[in-house]
Amino acid sequence: MTDENWIGPVVDGGGSFPIVSTDAQFEGKVWSIRSDTVDFDGRIIERDIVIHPGAVAVIAIDDEDRVLLIRQYRHPIATYIFEPPAGLLDVAGEAPEITAQRELAEESGYQARHWHVLVDFLNSPGGSSEAIRIYLARDLHELPEGRPLTGEAEEMFLPRTWVDLEDAKDLVLSGAISGPTAVAGILAAWAFRAQGWSGLREVNEPWAMRDSLLREGRIPVNFNKKNLH
């Protein structure tokens, strides 16, 4: 067996293996499933993958260091969960930070003057290409006309609540809040506050992982929100 001690830089990336063939298994409104036959250093293997457009989420924090969360029903898990405002990257050509700003307005009725990248993560890299970027939004103000009535079904009624950042961190660690964007975003915000908000990335920071997914054909290139209706 070769040496399995990694001596290179600790950063995600590093290339891919050749795809021998691809079979489409399912084409849905949001994501698709395909089966790839892959040449893995001479070993031919098959892998099923979910091709996902990706998403953004927003940890909005007010002047009292409270986090804005919304209560939303999620059919795949058959229950309500508390999440930050979020949405799919489902509008062709729209920059992720613009999607985040739009989703904050649509799901909470708020806008923010100050934006930063908070944290990036891959939701389920063993089976899905979904990449998520979470933004930090501060210096908030309500839209004069309130939350616009957009979306359907689960998005028609989105009760919101404000939770002190310290309490939100405790809710995550206790298991009371378990949605991935809430867990990652709240813990990242709590960590950044502990270091005086230093080290935050600019709102338009390049997203290397998403760029890689686009190059590798792991994101629907012609996806557009109109396909959802």
99 three-class SS: helix
Give me the residue label for tokens 């059919």. Answer: 75
Regarding whether 167 and 73 lie in a shared domain, the answer is yes
Regarding whether 151 and 86 lie in a shared domain, the answer is yes
Which amino acid belongs to residue 50? V
- The one-character DSSP state at 91 is S
Which helix (H) or strand (E) element contains residue 202? Answer: strand 201-202
What are the C-alpha distances in Å from 26 to residues 23, 29, 33, 131? Answer: 9, 10, 5, 20
pLDDT digits (tens, 9 = 90+) for 88-121: 998 888 999 999 999 999 999 999 999 999 999 9
CB atoms within 10 A of CB 121: 17
Phi-psi region of 41 (alpha: psi -120 to 50; beta: other; left: phi over 0): left
Q: Is residue 222 part of a domain?
A: no
As a whole number of angstroms, the distance between CA 203 and CA 116 comes to 4
Q: Is residue 1 part of a domain?
A: no
pLDDT at 216 over 90: yes
Name which residue leads in pLDDT, 1 or 120.
120
pLDDT digits (tens, 9 = 90+) for 119-165: 999 999 999 999 999 999 999 999 988 777 766 666 677 899 999 99
How long is the chain? 229
Asked whether 123 and 109 are in contact (CB, 8 A), the reply is no
User: Among this protein's residues, is 155 annotated catalytic?
Assistant: yes
Regarding whether 99 and 25 lie in a shared domain, the answer is no
Give me the residue label for tokens 């229950």. Answer: 79
Regarding whether 146 and 128 lie in a shared domain, the answer is yes
Q: Is residue 41 part of a domain?
A: yes
Total domains, the chain: 2
Catalytic residue among 4, 97, 130, 155: 155
Domain range spanning residue 45? Answer: 16-51
Regarding whether 112 and 97 lie in a shared domain, the answer is yes
Regarding whether 135 and 27 lie in a shared domain, the answer is no
Q: Is residue 216 part of a domain?
A: no
